[in-house]
Structure 1
Amino acid sequence: MPRNPEQPEKSEASAFEARMAKFSDRQRIRELQEQNYVENLSEEEKREGGFIGIRFDDNELKKLIEDPGIVVVQDAGTVVGYLSFTTLDKAREIADLEPFFERVKDLRFEGKDFSEYRSLFLEQISIDKRYKGKGIPKLLYEKLKQDSKDRYDIAVSEISDLNQRSLHVARDKLGFKIIDTYDVPEREETGEGKTWHAVALDLRSPERE
């Protein structure tokens, strides 16, 4: 368990460990999913802490951990955050992402057509509520870059305009760039919001200070 399960002590980023997830992490990852799942949060919690809109079941997590992987950060042996990602081919099979792929196929990033890049799709990031504001996302993305920079050029995803905390962290803390903004009216009914931003991160660039 963390050093203090009620209120983790303030520790430097170097005290945390980033690694690739193991099958034995599945239960903890699912616990973090539930903490931040959109339907489990109040409007205030969504606004202040961000949210995720997809649940992975146990079999889906096993497949993701096996290939291409899930990055986790642990504190004193307990997973306190994770970042899941997949290949573009697998992401295109997800019906809910059709609006995203319809938009990005004609976009350019850093002066090149989107199709010219070796890209991966970022599915979700979820941080233990007690560890938000402690630099966990930066550690997750540093590990992702370290393990993926020779295979992929950029990472892409989409973020709801309602999810202002996640948008702020991605753009202002991690270096993501908004490459398009579009509406998906049917998502408004799920509480995820109608307006979405397509974002991209250069995996080959130096880390932001």
Structure 2
Amino acid sequence: MIAYKQASTQKELEQILALQQQNLPKSLSNAEKEQEGFLTVEHSYGILEEMNAACGHIIAIEHEKVIGYALCMHPKFCNSIEVLKPMFQEINKVIKNNCNYMVMGQICVSKEYRGKGVFRGLYKTMKEKLPMGFDTIITEVDAKNQRSLHAHEAVGFQELKRYLIDNKEWSLIVLK
């Protein structure tokens, strides 16, 4: 049975990174990227641990193995990951001052668990575990990643805006 919780151990963080490695573009064929989607950011253990200390990452576990995750990225990390800096700049352009948001820094489900509700379960748990005072989840998706865009739309995300950075189109989306 799949359980959802916030990451709390070094082993869980290491398993997140292992699953991440399997789903980065460098580990996937072009066909896999198109059919299954892909991840953009490769995190270090250090930044993953710092982010987790601010707001525990959401993980899906079965038989003590992380089979999916949604990374919680507090806005205070806006300058910590170079590729995500433009996203925070775009968020600041469209979000009103009375909106306290958490960024979902990356979501991934192990291949053998896709299509089984894990993605939805991760977001449901993330909404439930948002720190006091936070009421919105924001993320961005590479516009070429159609699988991810459709999955996010299916759980209730709405597009805030599209923008180009270094000839790459991004969709900035929000879940309220």
Q: Give TM-score scaled by structure 2 length.
A: 0.91
* Native 8 Å contact 2:51 2:77 kept in 1: no
What CA distance in whole angstroms lies between the structure 1 residues aligned with 2:124 and 2:132?
14
> Measured at CA, do residues 55 and 18 of structure 1 come closer, stay the same or move farther in structure 2, by a change above 3 Å?
same
**1:87 Cα deviation after fit:** 1.1
> Measured at CA, do residues 87 and 38 of structure 1 come closer, stay the same or move farther in structure 2, by a change above 3 Å?
same
Residue 55, structure 1, aligned to residue 42, structure 2: yes
What CA distance in whole angstroms lies between the structure 2 residues aligned with 1:117 and 1:103?
14
Residue 127, structure 1, aligned to residue 109, structure 2: yes
Match of 2:125 in 1: 143
Q: What SS does the aligned partner of 1:117 have?
A: coil
Match of 1:99 in 2: 86
Match of 1:68 in 2: 55
> Measured at CA, do residues 67 and 89 of structure 1 come closer, stay the same or move farther in structure 2, by a change above 3 Å?
closer
Following TM superposition, where does structure 1 have runs of at least 4 consecutive aligned residues deviating by more than 4 angstroms?
none
What CA distance in whole angstroms lies between the structure 2 residues aligned with 1:104 and 1:123?
13
**Map 1:1-209 → 2, pairs under 5 A:** 15-23=1-9, 24-107=11-94, 113-148=95-130, 150-171=132-153, 173-185=154-166, 194-202=168-176
Opposite residue 184 of structure 1, the aligned amino acid is: I
* Native 8 Å contact 2:104 2:139 kept in 1: yes
Opposite residue 201 of structure 1, the aligned amino acid is: L
Q: Give TM-score scaled by structure 1 length.
A: 0.78
**In angstroms, what is the RMSD of aligned CA positions?**
1.6
Deviations 1:184-207 (A, max 9, x none): 125xxxxxxx111000111xxxxx
> Measured at CA, do residues 42 and 122 of structure 1 come closer, stay the same or move farther in structure 2, by a change above 3 Å?
same
Opposite residue 164 of structure 2, the aligned amino acid is: D
**1:149 Cα deviation after fit:** 6.4
Bigger-Rg structure (1/2): 1
Opposite residue 139 of structure 1, the aligned amino acid is: G
**1:69 Cα deviation after fit:** 1.2
What CA distance in whole angstroms lies between the structure 1 residues aligned with 2:163 and 2:133?
29
> Measured at CA, do residues 100 and 26 of structure 1 come closer, stay the same or move farther in structure 2, by a change above 3 Å?
closer
